[in-house]
Amino acid sequence: MADRAGAEALHVELVAADRTVWSGDAAMVIARTTEGDVGVLRDHAPTLSLLAPAVVEIQVDGTEDVVVAAVDGGFLSVANNRVSVLSEHIDLGDDIHVDKAKAELEEARGLLGSNDEAERRIRRAEARIRAAEKVSGGSLTSSH
Amino acid sequence: MAVSLREYRARIRSTESMKKITRAMELIAASRIIKAQQRAQQAAPYARELTRAVSAVATFSNVDHPLTREEENPKRAAVLVITSDRGLAGAYSSSVIKEAERLAERLRDEGKEIDWFLAGRKAEAYFKFRSRDFVESWTGFSDQPGYDVAAEIGKALIDAFLKEQGEEGDVDEVHVVYTRFRSMLVQEPTAIRLLPLEVVEGEEPPGDAELLPLYEFEPSPSEVLDGLLPQYVVSRIFYSLLQAAASELAARQKAMKAATDNADELIKKLTRIANQARQAGITQEISEIVGGVNALADAQAAAND
């Protein structure tokens, strides 16, 4: 917590509503806010921003590993070299089944226009698919 | 000895099987309670970060948000009552309901009408049995609540709260009655006011290191607040549900332990009475035999004379 504030590395916590999904030190965090993509490095100015339903990438400190996760909106808060990504639902790329996410996307597309939830679900499913594809397709495949 | 030995034995056997059941339930509750506590612990970081973020925005901007706005003349209040789905948990559900009734009385004294929102089958049954109206109820999750349920409840409550006064289904305040988990032995029914939100700092004053830095808000403080507050409300509800779940399991464990102990005592008592009955039977048989032999001997002596 506070005692880590002065440490060198960027301490990142991916926190979903019911658990901490991932936590550790990172070199860089890339996330998409409602205003556009941001990359957070060490000594970033304190920021609190709204996230879009999209992919969050964390480059793990001292390795080539990248942690990829899909978030469902939420927040990014940066202060004293501590980054918290808060979202109701967070799924790590490794845990996402592409087929399941694609089926969900199709289902949500079918509902489009009938209710407001559909658009949210589409964006969420798209983010999950992107996250899953990044993990399986990218050369920076992560293992954690 | 009005009841025969066989009946005592049957009673002992049924008490024994009942004891097995209550003992099993006690053990199940005991193992689940650990899981429930873990879940509460796992949910803590989210609640903590969210609270931090909310107080950061509240500190650096003038909070004026529909969710924090006090209605000048509150007329209706929503009360969410969190009970269990199943019984056999001692006075758990009834003490929550009692607390809710106390709150309702207080609110009525303040001239507010009440819209009920219920979580758990026990509360639903209580209201249905008395043919009292409630707005909405959610059931089927009381011992392991998920976040999605909390989100659903939160949405319903926020929607009702955000309606204009006079509109159908509008409420001006939202209260939650749940059971706070103090320890395995102590759980207390608690009523809190959820909305309008009062943004208060943590219970202990923050240390120097905890002083909040000057945040930049993207896109703007008010929009960040727009996104934050509903999630904050939902996370508070989730917290209440988790506490209630842990309390329910603790109450059930305690009740079932008491039941098992009672069964033990009953078995002991019945065994004693059964033994007495058996002994009495034996004694009677012996005295009958002795009596018979004596009578026979007397008869023979009389015949020999």
What is the model's pLDDT at position B61? 67
Q: Which domains does chain B have, with CATH numbers?
A: 26-201+232-257 (3.40.1380.10)
What is the model's pLDDT at position B98? 94
Residue B114 and residue B219 in contact, taking contact as beta carbons nearer than 8 Å? no
Beta-carbon separation of B235 and A77 below 8 A: no
- Prior bond of B219 cis (ω within 30°): yes
Q: Find residues 73-132 of chain B whose CB sits inside 8 Å of chain A.
A: none
| Highest mean pLDDT out of B62-71, B130-139, B205-214 | B130-139
Structure tokens at B290: 């002795």
What residues pair up with A69 in beta bridges, in sequence order? A56, A92
ipTM: 0.76
Nearest-CA distance A54 → chain B (Å): 16
Residue holding tokens 């008010």?
B222
Is residue A20 scored above 60 in pLDDT? yes
Is residue A144 scored above 70 in pLDDT? no
Residue A76 and residue A31 in contact, taking contact as beta carbons nearer than 8 Å? yes
Q: Find residues 83-142 of chain A whose CB sits inside 8 Å of chain B.
A: 84, 86, 88
Nearest-CA distance A119 → chain B (Å): 17
Beta-carbon separation of A48 and B146 below 8 A: no
Average pLDDT on A134-142 reads: 57
- How far is residue B123's CA from residue B119's CA, in Å, rounded to a whole number? 7
Is residue A64 scored above 60 in pLDDT? yes
Strands A19-33 and A82-87, sheet pairing:
unpaired
Beta-carbon separation of B227 and A73 below 8 A: yes
Average pLDDT on A62-80 reads: 86
What is the model's pLDDT at position A67? 86
- Residue ranges of the alpha helices (H) in B61-146? 92-109, 121-129
Structure tokens at B190: 């608690």
What is the model's pLDDT at position B245? 92
Average pLDDT on B98-114 reads: 92
Is residue B23 scored above 70 in pLDDT? yes
Backbone phi, psi, residue B145, to 5°: -70, 140
Helix, strand, coil content of chain B in percent (nearest 5)? 60, 15, 25
Name the residue facing B209 among A2, A19, A75 (closest C-beta).
Answer: A2
Residue A26 and residue A83 in contact, taking contact as beta carbons nearer than 8 Å? yes
Read off the pLDDT of residues B243-265 as tens digits, 9 standing for 90 and up: 999 999 999 999 999 999 999 99
Is residue A143 scored above 50 in pLDDT? no
The answer for residues whose C-beta is within 8 angstroms of residue A122's C-beta and 6 or more apart is A105, A108, A109, A112
Class of the CATH domain delimited by A1-144: mainly beta
User: B50 pLDDT band (50/70/90 cuts)?
Assistant: confident
User: B268 pLDDT band (50/70/90 cuts)?
Assistant: very high
Beta-carbon separation of B209 and A5 below 8 A: yes
Is residue A141 scored above 90 in pLDDT? no
Read off the pLDDT of residues B176-235 as tens digits, 9 standing for 90 and up: 999 998 888 889 999 989 888 876 544 444 444 456 677 888 788 888 888 888 888 999
Residue A74 and residue A85 in contact, taking contact as beta carbons nearer than 8 Å? yes
Average pLDDT on A1-6 reads: 44
HEC sequence for A66-121: EEEEEECCCEEEEECCEEEEEECCEEEHHHCCHHHHHHHHHHHHHHECCECHHHHH
Average pLDDT on B22-34 reads: 93
Task: State the pTM of this model.
Answer: 0.81
What is the model's pLDDT at position A34? 86
Structure tokens at A68: 């990829």
Query: Of A39-48, B126-135, B152-161, B194-203, which gets the smallest average pLDDT?
Result: B194-203
Residue of B5, B18, B34 whose CA lies nearest to B276: B5
User: B273 pLDDT band (50/70/90 cuts)?
Assistant: very high
**What are the sequence ranges of the domains in chain A?**
1-144
Q: Let me know how many helices (H) and strands (E) chain A has, helices first.
A: 2, 9
